Amino acid sequence: MSVTAAKGFVASGVTAGLRPSGLPDLAVVRSVPRAVGAAVWTTNRVQAAPVTVSRRHLAQAQPQAVLINAGCANAATGAQGEADALASAEGLARALDLATEEVVVLSTGVIGAPLPVEKVLSGARMAAAELSADGGEAAASAILTTDSGPKVAIANGVGFTVGGMAKGAGMIHPRLATMLVVVTTDYPLGEGEAEKFLRPAVEQSFNRISVDGDCSTNDAVVLLANGASGAARDDAALVAALEAVCSDLARQVVADGEGATVVLEIGVTGAASEGEAEAIARRIATSPLVKTAAFGHDPNWGRVLMAAGSAPYGDGYARLNTDRLSVSFDGVEVFSLGAPTGNVPELSGAVCRIDLDLGLGDGAAGYLASDLTYDYVRINAEYTT
Amino acid sequence: MSVTAAKGFVASGVTAGLRPSGLPDLAVVRSVPRAVGAAVWTTNRVQAAPVTVSRRHLAQAQPQAVLINAGCANAATGAQGEADALASAEGLARALDLATEEVVVLSTGVIGAPLPVEKVLSGARMAAAELSADGGEAAASAILTTDSGPKVAIANGVGFTVGGMAKGAGMIHPRLATMLVVVTTDYPLGEGEAEKFLRPAVEQSFNRISVDGDCSTNDAVVLLANGASGAARDDAALVAALEAVCSDLARQVVADGEGATVVLEIGVTGAASEGEAEAIARRIATSPLVKTAAFGHDPNWGRVLMAAGSAPYGDGYARLNTDRLSVSFDGVEVFSLGAPTGNVPELSGAVCRIDLDLGLGDGAAGYLASDLTYDYVRINAEYTT
């Protein structure tokens, strides 16, 4: 059900002819009652045209519909790219009788190629005509590129629902700019409130995953809330449901990371601060040596120490004292307060859990990562321009 | 000739039985006249025992000899590791009639295993007995682990010589802690001067290379200067010779990176500051997507933009404005002032040059990197504990 699980949302997915494969490649999500919304965007300084245009729209109006195309990222396309993104939004707005600023446009696909704007416009008209409360799965399928299948998640609160769909396997495929997420809820939020709820949920989910440490030019997470449930306010329940949906989708993105065979769950506790815990967890999650070891089912704590000791933080590295540090793999302690324990855990599952206790303070953070495999290299090296 | 190319230095390499392969695994370098010296150490917060001991020694005395063993990194070995590193220094000092503080000890190999100190001590005695002015190549061979061969470099100034040897292919091999460099010169330097010359040379060479972005627990670059040339002071000539030797060795380390088939030369100009130029160059040099594209001889400028736009600097990213940015591969411009040029350069060499002009200021920096290949994954995944 994905983005149409919550009341008052309709969606559709169509084939606009943007992907050479001929698979569905254009999706629309719309709120039927007036919605409020917010988005979290890529922090990359190279931002795709749809990101630039949609940020502007969100500053001017509450978003009522989202238009997503696969096959072309419309990134690094200059002034023409912006004009094309704007024209796409205008086209959908006309079909749905909305103001152009009420449309968010998102693109994923090849960087540097111009957007086939006529195909997008006719696709948008087609998608607008097919919008339905059953269209969530079609929409989730029409935003994919290298994903092995649609990624959807739902969480129910008391009297309301949060649903979402995601696309992405890291900034991973040749010239593809990747992670796009749309989350909808029928929970009642006022104008200006959506971002306050979305940002922390993203921080704890999509900002705590790594496939290859690369950050795309198009990443976006959009939340629409329309209040159609009629539920009473219970903000804590919304926070829980949003986090559940975002974490579920984030984990699906990691597990579907190109070439991935293992999901690494990294837990850091006892850091001097939360920021340092996150820096260390991220450094481990992005270390090629840790990720190849995971692929080889090797409980290689030496590499984990190496990575933990060189986690960029502020002007230097996150604090760490080897003598207070303990490390375990899948719950088996391999390094305790500065010395090896001699334990050699058996790793063979699709999940590898690595826990570090730094013994310095209360800072804690978790991270999910995929392993680094032959298939990752194959997928990213064999395709040539 | 490596470390014995400069006058007044003797060296040797022996088999102490530390490597299962039975290859030479212990080297000694000594200055015959009194030398001054300095070292630059790994910045990893997890530091190996020999690093801790040698830093202390350098704070107390001028280094006269260096003892290097392969096969065991003596890292993450706690108090016993420090005692073992100190005992090794004492053993060599006794054999050479030096104070213990005048000996620098360096180790490379498995992290977490105790140092076989008896083997090191008998190896050090053997190596002390074999020291000779012809021993530079034997020493360079005895410090290797996964290297495909010895790495040596020499540069001549007017009346003096700088020679060096290096070991390392990144923090790359399972549980190996890696890059070690010894540079010797017969140029005359006073006490306390060596670091002033060594640090900038390292900054422009070993700190501008990346095999896998990982930073070992044992990295060290040591400089010994004994004045035996009798040459007159010409500090600019020393700077040039030191940079030549360090850059030559650094390039050899990258070219010998595990599994490497391509050396990436990354040049960034026009950045808002030198620090931002370096941040962007490093980010490109460590991007798995850029490195797999290089393996596939793919001039994938979209990935270069993605990496350049997300280079950590200060609290955010290095400044970049797509509209002022131009990118070329092997001298062929592929992206010019914010728009693709349509050029598709043919890449097929063992070197791939990527130049970015940011058009913002005078900041410039270069970086060398190896590509990311199947063999990198094989080497680092197939070995299991």
pLDDT digits (tens, 9 = 90+) for B63-102: 999 999 999 999 988 899 999 999 999 999 999 999 999 9
**What whole-number distance in Å separates Cα of residue B183 and Cα of residue B39?**
10
> So what's the pLDDT on residue A172?
45
Cβ(B209)–Cβ(B139) below 8 Å: no
Instruction: Decide if pLDDT at A216 tops 80.
Output: no
- pLDDT beyond 70 at A214: no
Q: How confident is the model at residue A175 (pLDDT cuts 50, 70, 90)?
A: very low
Token pair in block for residue B154: 């020499």
Are the CB atoms for B304 and B327 separated by under 8 Å?
Answer: yes
| Residue from A206, A201, A200, A239 nearest A220 by CA | A206
> What chain A residue is nearest to B326 in terms of C-alpha separation?
A76
B296 with A383: Cβ contact below 8 A: yes
Distance between CA atoms of residues B191 and A302, nearest Å? 37
Q: How confident is the model at residue B13 (pLDDT cuts 50, 70, 90)?
A: very high
pTM exceeding the 0.95 threshold for the entire prediction: no
Express as a percent the part of chain B with pLDDT over 70: 96
Q: How many CB pairs under 8 A join A and B?
A: 224
Interval A241-254: pLDDT, tens: 999 999 999 899 88
Q: Per DSSP, which regions of A32-137 are E strands? A: 36-41, 65-69, 103-107, 109-110
Spatial distance between the Cα atoms of A182 and B282, rounded to a whole number of angstroms: 33
Task: Report which of residues A146 and A78 the model is more confident about.
Answer: A78
Domains of chain B: 2-251 (3.60.70.12), 263-382 (3.10.20.340)
Q: Please answer whether residues A291 and A264 qualify as being in contact, where contact means their C-beta atoms are separated by less than 8 angstroms.
A: yes
* Arithmetic mean of pLDDT over chain B: 91
Q: Is the pLDDT of residue A236 over 70?
A: yes
Residue type, A373: T
- The reported pLDDT for the residue numbered A208 is 85
Our CA angle for A195, A197, A202, nearest 5°, is 85
**Percentage of chain A modeled with pLDDT above 90:** 74
Mean pLDDT, rounded, for B304-313: 91
Taking CA atoms, A27 is separated from A125, A171, A197, B314, in Å, by 11, 21, 25, 38
Pick A350 or B179 by higher pLDDT: A350
A173 pLDDT exceeds 80?
A: no
Chain B residues with beta carbon closer than 8 angstroms to that of A322: 45-47, 76
The one-character DSSP state at B266 is E
pLDDT at A210 over 90: no
- Rounded to the nearest angstrom, the minimum Cα separation between B266 and chain A is 18
As beta bridge partners, residue B345 has none
Q: Alpha carbon A237 to chain centroid distance? A: 22
- Residue, of A139 and A21, whose pLDDT is higher: A139
**Active site residue: B178, B184, B185, B269, which one?**
B178
Evaluate if residue B171 carries a pLDDT over 60: no
ipTM of the complex: 0.81
pLDDT band of residue B385 (cuts 50, 70, 90) is very low
**Does the structure show a pLDDT above 70 at A204?**
yes
Q: pLDDT tier at A170 (50, 70, 90 boundaries)?
A: low
Is residue A108 classed as helix, strand or coil in its secondary structure? strand
On the CB side of B170, CA atoms within 13 Å amount to 30
Chain A residue numbers touching B214 (CB-CB < 8 A): 287-289, 303, 306-307, 310
A135/A1 Cα distance (integer angstroms)? 8
pLDDT of B172: 45
Asked if B182 and B222 count as a contact pair (C-beta separation under 8 A), the reply is yes
- Looking at chain A, the whole-number percentage of residues with pLDDT higher than 70 is 95
pLDDT of residue A14 exceeding 80, the answer is yes
